[in-house]
Amino acid sequence: MNTKNKCARDRLILALDVNTMEEARELVTELKDYVGVFKVGLQLFTSVGPDIIKMIRDEGREIFFDGKFHDIPNTVAKASANLIKHGVTFFNIHTIGGSKMISTTVKLAKETAKSLGLPKPTILGVTILTSFGQRTLTEELLISQNIDDYVGKLAKLGRDSGLDGIIASATDIPKIRKECGEDFIILCPAIRPTWSVVNDQIRVVTPSDAIKSGVDYLVVGRPITSATDRVSAAKLVLDEVEEAIAEMACAPTE
For domain 8-250, give its CATH number from 3.20.20.70, 3.40.50.300, 3.40.50.11310, 3.40.50.720. Answer: 3.20.20.70
% of the chain residues with pLDDT over 90: 72
CA dihedral in degrees (159, 163, 168, 173; nearest 10)?
40
The catalytic residue among 4, 32, 54, 68 is 68
**What is the rounded CA–CA span in Å between residue 227 and residue 222?**
7
Verify whether residue 6 is a known catalytic residue: no
pLDDT, tens only, 163-217: 999 998 877 888 898 889 999 999 998 788 876 655 555 556 788 888 988 999 9
In Å, what is the CA distance from 209 to each residue of 36, 129, 142, 192, 248?
Answer: 20, 19, 31, 10, 11
pLDDT tens sequence for the chain (254 residues): 456 668 899 999 999 999 999 999 999 999 999 999 999 999 999 999 999 999 999 999 999 999 999 999 999 999 999 999 999 999 999 999 999 999 999 999 999 999 999 999 999 999 988 788 899 999 998 999 998 888 889 999 999 999 999 998 877 888 898 889 999 999 998 788 876 655 555 556 788 888 988 999 999 999 999 999 999 999 999 999 999 888 877 665 55
Predicted TM-score (pTM) of the model is 0.90
Q: Where are the domains of the chain?
A: 8-250
